[in-house]
A and B are shown apart, each in its own frame.
Chain A
Amino acid sequence: MDFSYYPGCSLHSTGKEYGQSVELVSEALGLKLHELNDWSCCGATSAHSTNFELSVALPARNLAIADQKGLDIMIPCAACYNRFKTAQHNLNHKEALRATITAGLDDNYSGKAAVRSPIEIFHQDIGLETLKSRVVKKLEGLKPVSYYGCLWLRPSDICDFEDAENPMMLDEIMTSLGAESRNWSFKTDCCGGSLTVSKSDLVEKMVGRLMRMAREAGANCLVTACPLCMANLDMRALGEDALPTFYFTELMALAMGLKGPQNWFGLHNFDPMPLIRSLQLL
């Protein structure tokens, strides 16, 4: 299976271990990722908060590059996914906007390339049975709560992901790896997103509550699929309630016996190695 691949800015810096684990797991599962040629930033929250046209034009350039290949685009970052989906929705439904914005692009925009999440690709296209068959080290003793956050899911008519109030794909992937996925009611609550930089105190409170609720659910870690959520969960949780957080692809790689997890865990702010060692997973 071939996909266009948009890593986005985070996967080259703060979310390095996410980028590397997505790429390694994809390769191991037989997916061929073609990084979008000379891609640029999606504009994130800052563009849509200050300039609507810019927030459509920035993803539009990347969408047009993808349209040339005609493959589905895998986007591991929830924020980029959301901006691409929203831009595509606007371009495909608003003719005048589409005309002005696409006129300035080098490539022809057709709006056909499907924007997709690696969660969905691994869960649906690869499938849980295949995932199970690839597990060499069951993640026994690991009790994650799955944290989806906002941007994969909402607004639901544009994101077209899964049940916006009770998504299950991450939970099911964790179960197929042999982990004991814990149920909780906070999987789609907001972590504060990019306010983390300008309003750190608010975000600390939001993350603190998520950690307390994860403990309440009997979890010993959290699992996420968003570099922004990861940054907040990993760096903004203070005090003794804090739990380690993993990218779901790090855990896939761990269960599949791939080389990499130890290095990636070393990049986390909150060290997950004591937990991993106590469960003899490495």
Chain B
Amino acid sequence: MGSFLDDVNQRIDGVDIQNCYHCQKCTSGCPMAQVMDFKPNEIIRMVQAGRKDALLRSSAIWLCASCETCVTRCPNAVDIPRLIDVLREMSLEAGVVPQEREVVQFHESFLGTVKRGGRVNEPLMIVSFKIKTGTYFNDVIVGLKMFMKGKLSLFSPRTKNMQAIRRIFRSTAKS
């Protein structure tokens, strides 16, 4: 088995993260850096130092908004959002209880809806997510408001060829 760094680079399958020279341009432009427990360039340093457990348990990997600002500005084309996606997958595979549980639950609700209907009826999905997680009563009111305005239709068309959708989910499922 390779080192943590090797595993990560292999899964990124692009620019190796050792190309980072820690100029911190990524962190200065990151809209989420202030609320992350580890800043974008620190995440790179930690992979290099083999601090796998701390990273897979971090809030930072779920708070990244995937805005792609860092990779666009990086002088060395280090793809931090891709790195973070890799760490997210590793964290889920390792069964770590995420610090930002509701972010992960949101992704699960979203993909569950796609798997069942091929498309997402957003307001319906959001309201059911909010009720399931018992959060943000105000947002349920926003949901109701959208319903009154005719944005939330209970019968929005779904994908007809559901066999194709199920095949996609089956063939990409993690064992």
Contacts and interface: CB of A to CB of B under 8 A. Distances in A.
Q: Size range of the interface on B?
A: 35 or more
Contacts of B139: 197, 200
B71 to A, nearest CB: 5
Contacts of B169: 54
A28 interface: no
B68 to A, nearest CB: 3
Interface in A10-54: 10, 12-14, 16, 38-41, 43-54
Interface in A200-238: 200, 202, 206, 235
B118 A40 contact: yes
B106 A46 contact: yes
A190 B33 CA distance: 12
Given A50-B107, A58-B168, A9 B35 contact: no
A154 B102 contact: no
Main secondary structure of the interface of B (DSSP, over half): helix
**Residue of B111, B121, B126 most packed against chain A (CB within 10 A):** B111
Contacts of A193: 65-67
A277 interface: no
A39 B165 CA distance: 10
Nearest to B12: A52
Nearest to B74: A155
**Residue of A13, A52, A188, A194 most packed against chain B (CB within 10 A):** A13
A61 interface: yes
A166 interface: no
Contacts of B100: 198-199
B68 A269 contact: no
Contact of B103 (A48, A104, A190, A195): A195
B175 interface: no
A9 B118 CA distance: 10
Given A9-B120, A266-B149, A44 B110 contact: yes
Interface string B104-117: 11110011001000
22 contacts: A13-B124, A16-B151, A38-B160, A44-B110, A46-B106, A49-B85, A49-B88, A50-B92, A53-B172, A94-B13, A150-B69, A154-B68, A155-B68, A188-B69, A189-B31, A190-B31, A192-B31, A193-B67, A198-B106, A267-B150, A267-B151, A269-B142
Given A39-B119, A154-B69, 8 more contacts: A41-B159, A46-B111, A49-B66, A154-B71, A189-B31, A193-B67, A199-B102, A206-B31
